[in-house]
Structure 1
Amino acid sequence: MSSIKVPDHLPSPAEDCEQLRKAFQGWGTNEDLIISILAHRNAAQRSLIRNNYAETYGEDLLKELEKELSSDFERIVLLWTLEPADRDAFMVNEATKRLTSNNLVLVEVACTRKSIELFKVRQAYQVRFKRSLEEDVAYHTSGDIRKLLVPLITSLRYEGDEVSKTLAKSEAKILHEKIADKEFNHDEVIRILTTRSKAQLLATLNHYNNDYGNAINKCYQTAELRATMSNECACFQDLKDDPNDEYLKLLRTTIKSLTFPERHFAKILRLAINKLGTDEWALARVVASRAEIDMERIKEEYYRRNSVPLDRAIAKDTSGDYGKMLLELIGHGDA
């Protein structure tokens, strides 16, 4: 459910490159022209533009953009223009650095990308940083967090819809026993969360809810049920032994990201916009990475939980070219 509005009459990559070249020349950069082109091209089209620009002008479009733009606007344009796997590799690398460490980003990338996409991220990471992704994640984490993150980030899950009800029931029992005993870091808990397909895990969590009362996460099998569900009054109760424990927070994020990514991203956006001083990095990260995936569902979830349209919230909290780019990418209304 992409929010990107591609024009009915699409210029050729050569024409787009010519216009971008013009935007860079003269006394000042034409930011509006850059937005009008890049914000309305999908990933394949942006890749063609980058290749054509390099062939025509002998320069990397990304380096040109980096030279011409600045601040938050530069960040969102560069993130958006990167190939999806390169973007994820860059974000994961930022998340492993000491000053920008963010384990939630690692969980997010590991759990909301398809297996083939995650495999491409690991390939892109090796090409860009000359190290393996799992090597850096392992080096920059420790203890239970490392025990969870390394298998998550290297997971190649089955993507089909086949589900074993018997397995779901037995693994729901395992999860319940270990969590009831506060063995949150047990090998079996981590095995189930890091290896099972999303469909199988959803079935397991539904059994957990039905058989043991409290939901690890309220899960719904169909879009119709998800659209009409109430707020999560019992959600994550069994994993809230210590709300401030980072490992438990990562476990809850893992489950939410695997079973209901729209809810995860809507929450990240709400926190980014509502905190004292907007979290521009989180805002740019979510918009750039989800605009072509599930932004329409995220917008629906954001409105359901906050009673304010996402475009209006972004328009109120951002300004200038940065705000314009974000609004174009989410497919804004009349914000």
Structure 2
Amino acid sequence: MAATILPMSSTHGLENECKEIHDSSGSLNHLIPSLARRTQLERQQIRDTYKAIYREDLISLLQRYEAAISPMKSAAFSLWMLDSHERDAVIAREALDEQGDDANYKALVEIFVGRKSDHIHLMKQAYHGRFRRHLDQDIINIEPPHPYQKILVALATSHKAHHADVSQHIAKCDARRLYETGEGGSGAIEAVVLETLSKRSIQQLKLTLSSYKHIYGHDYTKSLKRGNSGELEHALKMVVKCICNPPNYYAKTLYLSIKGGTIDKCCLERVLMSRADVDMDEIQRVFRKKYWKEVKDVICESIPSGAYRDFLVALATKNNIN
């Protein structure tokens, strides 16, 4: 049974949808896809209206539902209904709890690279409010030390210090400095890269990396392949790819999360939820070009049928339906 997607323009429509959720007696399978297709504003409206009528946070209802039916023990449904900065706070905490695996540090990099500074500020507030901890300090205290840790400290600093405007002149100067300390041969690449990451906005960094390619005829990652950057090399490649071409980076990450031998549901859910309201249509185009398949088809091939798969497919095709 397919759920009818009600318009969010009226209080009556909101109340009807909340009533349908409440009266479902926990059998939310047919409602999950419609919730997946909602915008962030619509999800917040549904959540607020549900709490006003039934005196319960919809998140609590979804968590009980997840505990009862999710074959993969996923919290994806309730995470999706959170504001994006709240969701990122939860993802960040989970990544730090599981520190030691590169995949978890990548989740943190994706947040700091893919979000604007005002979002990062709200995310840090939500992190402190929910966990009574400071995210920046938790990153500094990562043990044992890890190459991603230094990058994350720099990226966190950049959201506090950078200027909003981008400068072509600064981009060219930074590109030359990266070259001279890298393949140019003067060394000190780690210090220069981390300083650049900490002082520039993501847009400025993107312009710098574009200038590097224009001036020297190849991507900055080519210089990293020469092995001059030590243990930081692998982490830097990932960061550069995430900054320079997000759709390509996320298309490859999605594919590997499903087809990498063992399904990485945390990665799959994280990418779909974080990009569904941003650039999922472009990611789908890149995915189709690289792998000759639709994202939704690969999900259906790899995930058992049910509410969880329907939810993931709805996220993957969200922009195609609205």
Match for residue 34 of structure 1?
Answer: 32
Assess if the C-alpha contact under 8 Å between 1:126 and 1:133 holds in 2.
yes
Shift of 1:322: 1.2
Shift of 1:310: 1.2
Equivalent position SS for 2:75: helix
Find the aligned partners of 2:54 and 2:31 in 1 and give their Cα distance.
19
Equivalent position SS for 1:86: helix
Match for residue 309 of structure 2?
Answer: 323
Corresponding letter in the other structure for 1:19: E
Shift of 1:50: 1.5
Where does structure 1 lack aligned partners over 5 or more consecutive residues?
1-5, 217-235
Corresponding letter in the other structure for 1:330: A
Match for residue 13 of structure 1?
Answer: 14
Q: 1:120 to 1:64 in 2, by over 3 A?
A: same
Match for residue 153 of structure 2?
Answer: 150
Q: Does 1:192 align with 2:179?
A: no
Alignment of 1:84-163 (within 5 A): 84-98=84-98, 101=101, 102-141=104-143, 142=145, 144-156=147-159, 162-163=165-166
Match for residue 251 of structure 2?
Answer: 266
Instruction: Give the TM-score, by structure 1 length.
Output: 0.82
Higher relative contact order (CA 8 A, sep 6+): 1
RMSD across aligned positions (CA): 2.7
Shift of 1:144: 4.3
Shift of 1:246: 5.9
Equivalent position SS for 2:158: coil
Equivalent position SS for 2:60: helix
Assess if the C-alpha contact under 8 Å between 1:24 and 1:68 holds in 2.
no
Number of residue pairs matched by the alignment: 305
Alignment of 1:51-62 (within 5 A): 51-62=48-59
Find the aligned partners of 1:98 and 1:75 in 2 and give their Cα distance.
16
Equivalent position SS for 1:140: coil
Question: What is the identity percentage for the equivalent residue pairs of Structure 1 and Structure 2?
Answer: 30
Shift of 1:187: 2.4
Q: Deviations over 1:106-157 (max 9, x none)?
A: 1111001111111111111111111111111111252643322112134327
Match for residue 305 of structure 1?
Answer: 290
Find the aligned partners of 1:282 and 1:276 in 2 and give their Cα distance.
14
Find the aligned partners of 2:211 and 2:147 in 1 and give their Cα distance.
26
Corresponding letter in the other structure for 1:187: A
Q: Does 1:257 align with 2:242?
A: yes
Where does structure 2 lack aligned partners over 5 or more consecutive residues?
none
Q: Deviations over 1:84-114 (max 9, x none)?
A: 0010001111111136851111111100111
Match for residue 83 of structure 2?
Answer: 83
Q: 1:168 to 1:243 in 2, by over 3 A?
A: closer
Match for residue 219 of structure 1?
Answer: none
Assess if the C-alpha contact under 8 Å between 1:165 and 1:203 holds in 2.
yes
Find 1:175's aligned residue among 175, 178, 183.
Answer: 178
Match for residue 275 of structure 1?
Answer: 260
Corresponding letter in the other structure for 1:321: A
Q: 1:100 to 1:78 in 2, by over 3 A?
A: farther
